[in-house]
Amino acid sequence: MKTVYDFAVKDRMGNNVKLSDYKGNVLLIVNTATGCGFTPHYEPLESMYRDLHDKGFEILDFPCNQFANQAPGSGEEIHQFCKLKFGTEFPQFSKIDVNGDDANPLFAFLASEKPFEGFGKGIKNAALSKFTELNNKKFGDKAYIKWNFTKFLIDRTGNVIARFEPTTDMKEVRKAVEELLR
């Protein structure tokens, strides 16, 4: 059975990183953007990382500019923004595409393991659904990820356990991470 450990990615400097290097850790893999309404998610993400890293928790951050051009900077500009504004310490990888023909294979795999099930209820979620539908129309059946800050929770053996849309309360994400770390 395929797991996230079967993939390799590029770090922010362009070096190959095998995800098998993270074996034994609980992972949260996130596609991010610096100019998004969900960018403040960096704060609770960094807090989780600081509090839980020593227990075997890693956050893997993949900037993506496919959603309304909300991550327009270079990899270094994005990294500096995250360090200065949110004090992020978790690993940040090279900017990628998560949808379309050039989608990073890791994200296509993650989305196939845990497909999109909606943003939830409420007016904001309905508005985001309409906006993402327009944005992702150009990707057709390769619109794997619907928006920035989609998070995938991976267990210590590399299996995809959960998908959290950006509308999911970060307290719920943290609770799921803490349960896996027990």
Task: List active site positions.
Answer: 36
Q: Answer whether 86's CB lies under 8 Å from 43's CB.
A: yes
- DSSP H or E run through 70: none
Dihedral of CA 174/176/28/70: which sign? negative
Cα–Cα nearest to 96, from 29, 46, 25: 29
Dihedral of CA 171/112/71/79: which sign? positive
Distance CA 26, CA 59 (A): 9
